[in-house]
Amino acid sequence: MSRFEDIFGQPPAVIAQAPGRVNLLGEHTDYNDGFVLPTAIPQQTTVSLRPSGGGEFIVHAADLASESRFGRDAPPGDHFAQYVYGCIRGVEASGTHVPILDIHVRSTVPMGVGLSSSAALEVAMLRALRDLLSLDIDDVRIAQMAQRAEIDHAGVNCGIMDQMASSLADSSRMLFLDTRTLERRVLPRPAGTELLVLDSGLSRSLAASAYNMRRAECEAASNALGIAALRDVTDASSVDSLPEPQRRRARHVVSENRRVLEAANGVDAEHFGRLMNASHASLRDDYEVSVPTLDALVEMLQSHPDVHGARLTGAGFGGACVALCREGAAAGAGRDVIERYRRAGHVGRMLVPEPEENP
């Protein structure tokens, strides 16, 4: 794996990191101004950079063995570099000149499985620029700028959860976040537990188009109910007046917000696990963002004796699942479930805890 020095011939001026995230509860609620409960994962994205004095920005993505070059006013064609470009333009829009840079990116955050590798890249890039340019911006502002970079320059109409989690969360606790007000609390996980994250091996090829459709359906439901966002539903039965599929989409968001609030008030591991199981059923049946193979993996997790509860995490249609396990048992449960999953003809892998063979 290349280092900054290997590519650019000298050491970087600044090195910054940011983690990926897994969402424990609160799926598809952030763009409805709702509540979420993510936590950071151990894997990190590292951005190293220094002013180059050259005529164009150079971004080398070590994990992709790919390089992108672009000018200040010429967006890059490479998708990974668009996130970096968006961060640079965001800093310049705030009134600070960004010099031409050599940039090296390395990441252990799994890509394309719903663990926010893009948010980790954005937050790490903005942290590096903050250090290099002595910017007076806090971690909340970092998250907000990262979100704008993704929306405006990578073309993803995302909510704020991923960037807030990458910027503010740690891997030992949960971040309870109100995505409307950005009020937040750092909370302990239920006592005697640890997390397990598995990659289903399914490509999320439908996730982007379905995500946009679900957003539109939720906005239509809010308009029909005469409220700003589904977060403002005060009587759960009011969604029953909506036509399908808006009724089911709204029912998921309303029930998911309640699950997050219940968990944030403090519940034991078994109760938390039941909330995760209910969340998956709602995502499967009301929000319709799961697929049979993903459901099968979740069911295998839910039936394991060391697992309190499990659900898909991320946009859905493939990607990762998260489980709350008995402390000390996550790795063993992960190996058991992946072996069973592979015997059923599927290809999956354990991501958290990181397998011993991973660097």
- In the chain, % helix, strand, coil (3-state, to 5) comes to 45, 25, 35
Q: Residue 63's Cα: distance from chain center in Å?
A: 19
Residue 133, classed as helix, strand or coil, is helix
Alpha helices in the chain (DSSP H): 4-8, 79-93, 117-133, 139-153, 161-168, 207-225, 246-264, 269-285, 292-303, 330-343
CB 311 within 8 A of CB 274: no
Backbone angles phi, psi at 128, to 5 degrees: -65, -45
Query: Does 162 qualify as catalytic in the annotation?
Result: yes
Residue 138 carries which DSSP code? -
CB 321 within 8 A of CB 297: yes
Query: Of 30, 162, 286, 306, which is the active-site residue?
Result: 162
Q: CA–CA separation, 94 vs 145, rounded Å?
A: 10
Q: CA–CA separation, 221 vs 230, rounded Å?
A: 8
- Positions marked catalytic: 162
